[in-house]
Amino acid sequence: MRVEEGFQQTPCSDDAPYTSDPVLQSLLKRVLPPRIHDEVDPDLQRFEKEIVRTVRPLSELAYPPSVTQYNQWGQRVDTLHTSEGWRGLKAFVQKEGIIAIPYERKQGEYSRIFAFMKMALMNGDGQVIFCPLAMTDGSARVLELHGNSATKKDVLSRLISRDPAVAFTAGQWMTERPGGSDVSQTETAAVATPNISSPYGPAHKLDGFKWFSSATESNVAVALARTASHPSPISAAAFIVGEYLDERVATRRGRSPQRVPCC
């Protein structure tokens, strides 16, 4: 007997991930005030249709990334290739404002619940696209709390943009070989470069090996490193790293992927 013969389980069909889920809807009614619920419910009903119409076709075009480390002349290029589906899913999430909604705060303290609901509805068809976008959300919050005015204007505004043409994604570069998820064992060192000025804060050169490079295709990243002012084994400083954050430092920052990143 061939595998396609005999009993065949009926494939799961979920063309209405929001309206067909009474538990999800009752939960939303319980945690949201009536006014907020009435505001977001129509958008969630629209969004579930977009999942079927837009997200699922893009999901079928998404495949794992690859890295080209050398070109035909033997030069190191470290080019990361992503699929059309992956790029389309990322643009869709940005247009839908899933990262922007918590920072626009149109629903006040319930804005993040609204964003999480859209994320939950799409997650099954998202091909892990929320891995780099969750990194983007976390980095945006760091810059919102601790970034200076130039950083907020030039970087934060793009991390939370709804326009894929200008929107940034961000990584969080923390994990290293000695400690795994224990970032207190960070080996990466940051040395001040007083000869370089930057509107985003004191410039540093980071030297280290990040074992886990999240959101490797991102435009910027928040990286952990030690400085002379943070020598303690239980403390490290956070740095914003980017490709071309400052036109006066127009060199590609040192990202050299040794293997295909996980997301």
Predicted pLDDT of residue 1: 84
Tokens representing 66?
Answer: 């690859």
Q: Is the whole-model pTM more than 0.85?
A: yes
Predicted pLDDT of residue 230: 57
Please determine, looking at this structure, whether the domain spanning 134-263 carries the CATH number 2.60.40.1730: no
Where along the chain do its domains lie? 22-127, 134-263
SS3 146: helix
Predicted pLDDT of residue 72: 96
Half-sphere exposure of 243 (CA within 13 A, CB side): 10
* C-alpha to C-alpha distance for 253 and 80, rounded to whole angstroms: 15
Predicted pLDDT of residue 160: 98
Residue 89 and residue 129 in contact, taking contact as beta carbons nearer than 8 Å: yes
Half-sphere exposure of 251 (CA within 13 A, CB side): 5
Half-sphere exposure of 7 (CA within 13 A, CB side): 1
As averages over each run of 10 residues, the pLDDT of the chain (263 residues) reads 87 87 95 98 98 97 93 91 97 98 98 98 96 96 95 96 97 82 82 87 87 82 81 74 55 46 51
Predicted pLDDT of residue 260: 46
Closest CA to 17 of 129, 135, 127, 126: 126
Burial class (CB in 10 A: 0-12, 13-18, 19+), 169: buried
Predicted pLDDT of residue 26: 95
